[in-house]
Amino acid sequence: MPSKLTLSIEEEVIAQAKLYAQNQGRSLSSIVEEYLKSISKRRKKKADPGHHLDPLVEELCGSVKISSDRPYKDLIGDAVIERYLNR
């Protein structure tokens, strides 16, 4: 069951956060809740001695789809060339 939470935040930060939420088509409450959930997940994972990946890395796992028809090393090589040689 949702509960109310009162926070003291600078007015400019609130204004920017509301604008961001509006641009994302979400409520500011949902964004804050998602953030708080994510940091509590990271904390739990850090406490797990069997955990080997940085929490941020693990959170990003699966967020990028890589074409299965090319080897990963080729994709990395292309990205390096794109980044440093095609300026």
Model confidence pLDDT, tens digit, residues 27-50: 999 989 888 888 887 666 555 666
Asked whether residue 20 carries a pLDDT value surpassing 60, the answer given is: yes
What rounded mean pLDDT belongs to the chain?
A: 80
Note whether 31 and 20 are within 8 A (CB). Answer: yes
All residues at 6 or more sequence positions from 38 whose CB lies less than 8 Å from its CB, including other chains? 59
Asked whether residue 65 carries a pLDDT value surpassing 80, the answer given is: no
Tally of CB atoms within 10 A around 45 = 15
Reported pTM: 0.48
Asked whether residue 6 carries a pLDDT value surpassing 70, the answer given is: yes
The answer to whether the Cα torsion of 75, 77, 78, 79 is positive or negative is: positive
Look up residue 18 and give its two tokens: 């509301």
Asked whether residue 69 carries a pLDDT value surpassing 90, the answer given is: no
